[in-house]
Amino acid sequence: MKTLQELEAIRQKKINELNLRESAEGNTRIVVGLATCGIAAGARPVMSAFVEEVHKRQLQNVTVSQTGCIGLCRLEPIVEVFVPGQEKVTYCKVTPEQVSRIVAEHIVNGNPVVEYTVGSYE
C-alpha cells in the first residue's frame, strides 16, 4: 500500500525551489481540449504525455491545463500553446508520440512545429 507520507518529503524539497521560481516572469501554458469530442478522440493520453514530458525535462514556469470544446471537433485532440510575448499556436489531431517533439522544439527552443498546426492541416 502506497501512502501519502512521501509527499511530506516532496514538500520540504519544493519549498526551496518555490522561492526561486517567484522571480521568474510569465508562464508558458499548454492547454488541452478535454470536452466529449477531445476525450473521444484521445486527448487524455496526450494530456498525460505533456504532463510527463514537462516533469521529465524539469521545466519551470510551464503549466499544462484543460479547457472545453473550442468548436473544431473534427480536428481533436487540439492543443493550444501560449508562450508569453508570442502568438498562440494551435496544434490539431495531436498524438502522444508528437508530444516530445512539440515540447523540445516549441516550448524549449521556441520554434513551433509548423507541420502539426491547424494552419498546415487545413
Partner 1 sequence: MKEISLHILDLVQNSIRAEAKRIDLTIEEYTDKTNDTLKVVLQDDGCGMSEEMVKSVTSPFVTTRTTRKVGLGIPLFKAGCEACGGSFKIESEEGKGTLLTGVYRHSHIDRPPLGDIADTVLLIATGNINIRFVYTHRVNENEYMLDTLELKRILGEVPLDDPEVIMFIKDFLVNNESELYGGM
Based on the shown chain and the rule CB under 8 A, indicate whether residue 36 belongs to the binding site for partner 1.
yes
According to CB under 8 A, which residues from 80 to 119 bind partner 1? none
> Closer to partner 1 at the Cβ: 40 or 114?
40
Question: Cβ atoms within 10 A of the Cβ of 42, count?
Answer: 15
Sign of CA dihedral 51, 97, 78, 84: positive
Q: CB of 33: closest distance to partner 1 in angstroms? A: 10
Tell me the number of residues near partner 1 by CB under 8 A.
36
Distance in angstroms (rounded) separating the CA atoms of residues 40 and 86: 30
Q: CB of 115: closest distance to partner 1 in angstroms? A: 26
Based on the shown chain and the rule CB under 8 A, indicate whether residue 65 belongs to the binding site for partner 1.
yes
| Burial annotation 63-82 (CB, 10 A radius, 16+ → b, else e) | ebeeeeebeeeebbbbbbbb
> Closer to partner 1 at the Cβ: 26 or 68?
68
Strand partners, 66: 32
Query: Where do contacts with partner 1 occur on this chain (CB under 8 A)?
Result: 1-2, 4, 6-8, 10-11, 13-15, 18, 34-36, 39-40, 44-45, 47-48, 51-52, 54-55, 58-59, 63-66, 68-71, 73
